[in-house]
Chain A
Amino acid sequence: MAASFAALVLLLVLTIFLRRSQRLLITAGFSLAGLASFLAAGAGFLTVAQGMTFRIVVPLGLPDLPFHLRLDVLSGYFLMIIGLLALFVSIYSIGYVRGFLGVRPVTSLVVFSTFFLAGMFLVVLADDALFFMIAWELMAGASYYLVMFEDERLENRRASFLYLLVAHVGAIAILLSFGILAGLTTGFQGFEGYTFDAMREAKHPQALATAAFLLAFFGFSAKAGVIPLHIWLPEAHPVAPSNVSALMSGVMLKTAIYGMMRVIFDLIGVFPWWWGALVLVFGLISAVLGVLYALLQHDLKKLLAYSSVENIGIILISMGLSMIFASFGLTVLSALAMIAALYHTLNHAMFKGLLFMGAGTVLHATHERSMEKMGGLIKFMPWTSALFLVGCLSIAALPPFNGFVSEWLTYQAFLLSPALTNPLLNLLVPLGAALLALTSALAAALFVKAYGVTFLGHRRSRHPAVIHEAPWSMRIAMSLAALACLALGIFPTYLIHWMDPITKFLVGDTISSSAAGFGWMWLTPIAHDRASYSAPVVFVVILAVVAITYLLLHSRAGTIRRGPLWGCGFEGITSRMQYTAMSFSMPLRRIFGFLFSIKEKVHHLPPTTHSAFPGRLQYHLRVRDRAWIWVYQPISDASFWISRRIGRMQHGRIQVYLIYSFVTIIVLLIFSR
């Protein structure tokens, strides 16, 4: 771990010297970042495997308030996720960032990605509130500059401001939550309570613990992009450079999940069932609305960003279930749901990283973000298209890829809920299972759309430029992520066995003895007659049947003739007659339209040749987030109204300000006597 930070520091020093030679800076910089990430991932992996805990107290910071660092199984797990994806993305960046050479200096990109990585590593290592907040802000600040990287575009400046604003509102809430927890440990008397150890030891009275939970949940939700606090996410993630988007969506959101788990399960520890129900409900809202919003997008990166909102929702669903089970003392079921949440966290890092890297490759090649101008890319980019397909299959939760495993575990957790005896939960849980099923079916539709419109069919662009396949470093990075998706999907029993110490630490029980109780090939949570799934067998049988059918049919060599498309007798089929991203989602837009604010306008232009021939049509569609209209617009209006009122007090004359000071002093004297 120390070596990892040494590599990051070395990188920063190198940056100063290599500012002149940008090409070398990219290669050396991202190689070092990759090395640092690899070391971090390795450290995290070993920590979890051996269930170890390391502590260091660093005598830095304020006097008498040293920084505490601690690497336990939970931090180790998240460190592994962050390190693994950061490793892939670093390899990817070597090729990707070269695209900026000659366009703009990339020094700031290298420097701030280093800070960003260091910030994420430190967040999961921090063991006191002060250091946690410093690392948290380091991460937020660095990512702000990364979003701002292409700052000549208005869109980027707007998005990064919004991001900074929401990030800080969230940070305030987290700080207040830590304040309550720290205050409780010392009875609001001293400063010693700021370490996580002290918070763990303290007894938290119900009301104040609830306040701390609500604040922490709010604060971390703002970072994770839980609806309705998601508003910055689909703005900021798409405009950042794609290697940064991959990190932001893949792992930065996960630090918020880490924060929730740390505060709820570790620091507070004991909680009533309705906390879990609250998390579950927000998870459901985010999952369903996230995927529906994603379906209406035609910007590839925006679509992926909304899909991150959905996946964070799915993680929260499992986490909420785990909290509910834990509060009823059903520790094995709680461990099962927790494994589902943790597994999906890892899975989402892998496939969303892969998809953002793929989207970046497409962007790199076509210089387009709108899917309406893509199409047919599978012929120009065979590698990228195949790897992107793996990402789509994983995120659409299709076996034998990894997304399916975590979804399967979540369903198992739902189906074991009749063990609960609360009538309200008995209503909520089936509804939750139904909404989760709806989400996953919509996600499949979403990724058919994303893949079909981008890679299949004909090119839609009117000025088709020559498109090249991505350079080797980008292809290697995406292949590694795709391999991870497949491996996580096929060998879940090993992973779950490895994750044992984490559930032991969080909820005090494990499922591994039963999970692999039937042999390593069968995943059997709880008991083997309850449910079992064998990804290796499913994979092998499908492959075998496909191969046998193929060979049987090809033993008698039939010729394949290529012919023109059948156009029902119409001769002039053009690429513009294909279904577009907008038309693909039109039926779903009609079904779920009441959830959005949709403005459709159709202009009939006058006929150009003769009145017998209809003129051209112009179609405008504007879809807006209801959250803007219902939540943010009133808040922003109110804050403008208040600032205008307050603004009246400012006259720019020194005498007036002196009177204000005088009055303030008088008032203070009266009150504090």
Chain B
Amino acid sequence: MTIPSSLIETTQVALLLAAAPLFTGWVKMVKCWMQGRTAPSLLQPFRDLAKLFSKDVVLAENASWIFRFTPYLVFGVSVLAGAIIPVLSTDLLLSATADVIVLVSLFAIARFFTALAGMDIGTAFGGMGSSREMTIASLAEPGMLMAVFAVSLVGKSTSLSQMTAVISQGGHAMLRPSMVFALLAFILIALAETGRIPVDNPATHLELTMIHEAMILEYSGRHLALIEWAGMMKLYLFTVLGIAAFFPWGISLNNDLPAIAGALVFLFLKLGFVGMALVLIETGLAKMRIFRITEFLGSAFLFATLGMMSFFMLE
């Protein structure tokens, strides 16, 4: 029995909205276990979001329309990004709409507006967060592009569905040197882009070290809820993007019901595994000084470029 691709698309977006907070909850849970603490429930992120949605908004005195528009836009682009990354099946309704370059630019839109919102309120923190975020992004984004380019050279396409399909059938794709370099770069960049240790600390509110939190310091109520939700989606999206680009095994290439169900099981297994790996990285490392991040991301950029070069030279 085949399922229409529009239904798969809807399932995927629903999965994005639901699984993103769950995944964040899972990461928090494993982290608590590792550190010998009692873990909150897996559903805790949902409770936090519900709490924020039911609260009233307090806006800063001189916040303009940009500040109020940003949460909705960030949420919107995250949903679109979730609609184009193949998670369950490569046959998606919107897969021809946007390729991997558009995907990177969708994250760039969200970042652009978040940085503007940080400057809109006119505090030192907002500006500091924006400045640091854009600095980090200006090194992370090209690295990210190079990493996905290396994969798209192997997949002979920049379309995400096409790339995933080629790599999941290819068998030896992961043995190529370009893919190894690209994976290494992608992991480093995903840590930076999703604001995890060692680049940023999602749990910190210590003024001088925060980056992402500094920009959204003045948000409250439903605005904050949208931003937080989009943040969780970003972590989930980078994870499934990594899975789709490097470990797509188990993804359904046609829309058979059993294949989709199998893909769902595979997805949850992989997400659980990635969550644990992320906790290992975060627990094992300390947060870096801001100017050490340059070296961290610089090497990621270099690995990614090497990946692309090795494709040109060796393959």
Q: List chain A positions with a Cβ less than 8 A from chain B.
A: 375-376, 378-379, 389, 393, 396-399, 404, 408, 411-412, 414-415, 417-418, 423, 426-427, 429-431, 433-434, 437-438, 440-442, 444-445, 447-449, 451-453, 456-458, 518, 522, 528-534, 537-538, 541-543, 545-546, 549-550, 553, 558-568, 573, 575, 577-579, 583-588, 590-591
Contacts and interface: CB of A to CB of B under 8 A. Distances in A.
A231 to B, nearest CB: 25
Contact of B127 (A451, A568, A578): A578
21 contacts: A375-B122, A393-B109, A396-B108, A398-B108, A399-B98, A399-B102, A411-B149, A438-B139, A440-B142, A441-B141, A448-B130, A456-B119, A534-B96, A537-B94, A549-B226, A558-B56, A564-B61, A565-B218, A566-B123, A568-B207, A579-B131
Given A560-B56, A560-B59, A579-B127, 5 more contacts: A423-B313, A434-B301, A522-B96, A546-B75, A579-B131
Contacts of B309: 426-427, 430-431
Please list the 3 inter-chain residue pairs (A to B) with the smallest Cβ-Cβ separation, ordered nearest first: A579-B127, A457-B122, A452-B119
Given A396-B112, A533-B99, A534-B97, A549 B72 contact: yes
A545 B109 CA distance: 15
A561 to B, nearest CB: 5
A140 to B, nearest CB: 36
Given A430-B312, A431-B309, A442 B153 contact: no
Contacts of A553: 53, 222
Contact of B98 (A445, A457, A533, A566): A533
A565 B108 contact: no
A522 B98 CA distance: 9
Interface in B223-259: 226
Nearest to A550: B72
Interface string B121-160: 1111111101110110111111001100100110011110
Pick the most buried of A376, A447, A452: most chain B CB atoms within 10 A of its CB: A452
Interface in B189-209: 207
B79 interface: yes
Given A558-B221, A578-B127, A591 B135 contact: yes
B112 A449 contact: no
A445 B134 contact: yes
A234 B215 CA distance: 32
B159 A457 contact: no
A608 B62 CA distance: 34
A591 B50 CA distance: 41
A672 B26 CA distance: 93
Contact of B290 (A451, A453, A573, A587): A587
Contacts of B75: 545-546, 549
Contacts of B72: 546, 549-550
A458 B127 contact: no
B42 interface: no
A584 B115 CA distance: 11
B138 A431 contact: no
Interface string B271-309: 000000000000000000011001000000100110011
Contacts of A458: 62, 122
A428 to B, nearest CB: 9
Contacts of B101: 408, 411, 533
A216 B96 CA distance: 42
A177 to B, nearest CB: 34
Binding site of B, secondary structure by majority: helix, strand, loop or mixed?
A: helix
B308 A426 contact: no
Interface of B: 53, 56-62, 64-66, 72-73, 75-77, 79-80, 83, 94, 96-99, 101-102, 105-106, 108-109, 111-112, 115-116, 118-128, 130-132, 134-135, 137-142, 145-146, 149, 152-153, 156-159, 162, 207, 217-218, 221-222, 226, 290-291, 294, 301, 304-305, 308-309, 311-313
A383 to B, nearest CB: 13
A376 B115 contact: no
B291 A587 contact: yes
A456 B105 CA distance: 23
A561 B56 contact: yes
Contact of B135 (A522, A567, A587): A587
Contact of A437 (B111, B124, B125, B145): B145
Contacts of B108: 396, 398, 441, 444
A379 B313 contact: no
A393 B115 CA distance: 13
A565 B123 contact: yes
Contact of A563 (B60, B109, B290): B60
A259 to B, nearest CB: 31
Contacts of B305: 430-431, 434
Interface centre among B79, B83, B218 (most CB of A within 10 A): B79
B57 A558 contact: yes
Contacts of A533: 97-99, 101-102
A562 B61 contact: yes
Given A451-B116, A541-B80, A591-B135, A559 B291 contact: no
A522 B128 CA distance: 40
B60 A448 contact: no
A530 B141 contact: no
B68 to A, nearest CB: 8
B291 A415 contact: no
Contacts of B127: 452, 457, 578-579, 583-584
A558 B61 CA distance: 18
Among A414, A434, A530, residue most surrounded by chain B Cβ atoms (within 10 Å): A434
B116 to A, nearest CB: 6
Contacts of A575: 122
A245 to B, nearest CB: 24
Contact of B153 (A376, A418, A447): A418
B142 A393 contact: no
A444 B158 contact: no
A441 B139 contact: yes
Among A389, A573, A591, chain B packs the most CB atoms within 10 A around the CB of A591
Interface centre among A528, A541, A564, A573 (most CB of B within 10 A): A541
A538 B80 contact: yes
B64 A456 contact: yes
A545 B305 CA distance: 35
Contact of A584 (B131, B153, B158): B131
A561 B59 contact: yes
Given A549-B72, A549-B75, A579-B130, A415 B116 contact: no
B129 to A, nearest CB: 9
Nearest to A585: B131
B116 A427 contact: no
A600 B184 CA distance: 38
B105 A399 contact: yes
Contacts of B106: 399
B96 A578 contact: no
A169 B285 CA distance: 57
A449 B111 CA distance: 13
Given A430-B309, A441-B138, A560-B59, A530 B159 contact: yes
